[in-house]
Structure 1
Amino acid sequence: MYLNKPPFSYRNDNKIPDFADAGPICVMDAQCALCARGAKWIAHNDRNAEFRIVPLQSDLGNALMTHYGMDPDDPSSWLYLVEGRGYASLDALIHVGQRLGRIWKVLAILRLVPSGLRDVLYRAVARNRYRWFGTADLCSLPDNEVQKRLIT
């Protein structure tokens, strides 16, 4: 789902703390094991070391979610910012795959699924992620590649 805001609109929002926004930004749940695995996957497949990861529970993560009209307390919330544009749900995953390149471009096949169904599928996994995958502490992962990308 494309979040219809002008590119880099968050820069004009005084509720958003200043942050280095060069490169793609992923706002992810720092307490979710699936999200922690996703952050690790991104970090290890990001050949150009350009992705940054913002914990949803941080002031910045919370402010960005709110700016894009998303509820930071909603378990289906995850946000991908690229070139100042916001994406959510499986559309965000598709865009991440495109940016990572190589084999991950195959995630574009998800575009064949109607957008409404993509959102329903994403929300079903997101709402059950703690039960199915458990919890984790993204900010405490001993993975150097993830730690280098965190903006807290």
Structure 2
Amino acid sequence: MRIQDKYDIILFDGVCNLCNNAVDFVIRRDKYDRFKFGALQDKATKSILKEYKINQNYIDSIILIRGNQVFYKSKAALEIARNLGSPWPAMYIFSIVPAFIRDPVYDWIARNRYRWFGKKETCRIPSAKEKQKFL
């Protein structure tokens, strides 16, 4: 059994401060141990990207993999919120806003994430407590 058949896999930009803070946010609210994480720059993640035919240099969006499904950008964020502890599933109501409206807002934040939130020199190294949450 593949790991993505048992867990939802969240792939994120490992050097982005905003992305790492989002990972911390999800870890704290993942009450059902539903998610595993991988930095888009990591070797383990590259093999998953290859399996799903996703450009291995892609770091412009959070990616959610659930079984054979791949979600990008705002859809990935909404699917993640939908599966967190309360009150975050209520955010899924924003899925009624069409992606052609949601995704440009997502893209604008993504384009400015390093300038606004900063960037690390290397990918995140999970703590001993977090290690089981990462690929």
C-alpha separation between the residues in 2 aligned to 1:74 and 1:128?
A: 16
1:20 aligns with 2:3: yes
Alignment correspondent of 1:79: 63
Percent identity of paired positions between Structure 1 and Structure 2: 23
**Does 2:45 align with 1:61?**
yes
Equivalent residue pairs, number: 133
Counterpart code for 2:42: S
User: What is the rounded CA distance, in whole Å, between the counterparts of 1:102 and 1:133 in structure 2?
Assistant: 26
**Where do 5+ consecutive residues of structure 1 fail to align?**
1-10, 12-18
Q: Does 1:46 align with 2:30?
A: yes
Q: Which amino acid in 1 is paired with 2:129?
A: N
Divergent runs of 4+, >4 A? none
Matching residue of 1:95: 79
Amino acid at match of 1:46: D
The alignment partner of 1:26 has SS state of strand
Is there any run of 5+ residues in structure 2 with no aligned partner, and where? none
Partner of 1:71, secondary structure, is coil
Structure 2 residue 96 is matched with structure 1 residue 108: no
Q: Name the TM-score, length of structure 1 as normaliser.
A: 0.75
TM-score (normalizing by structure 2): 0.83
Partner residue of 1:15? Answer: none
Aligned alpha-carbon RMSD (Å): 2.3
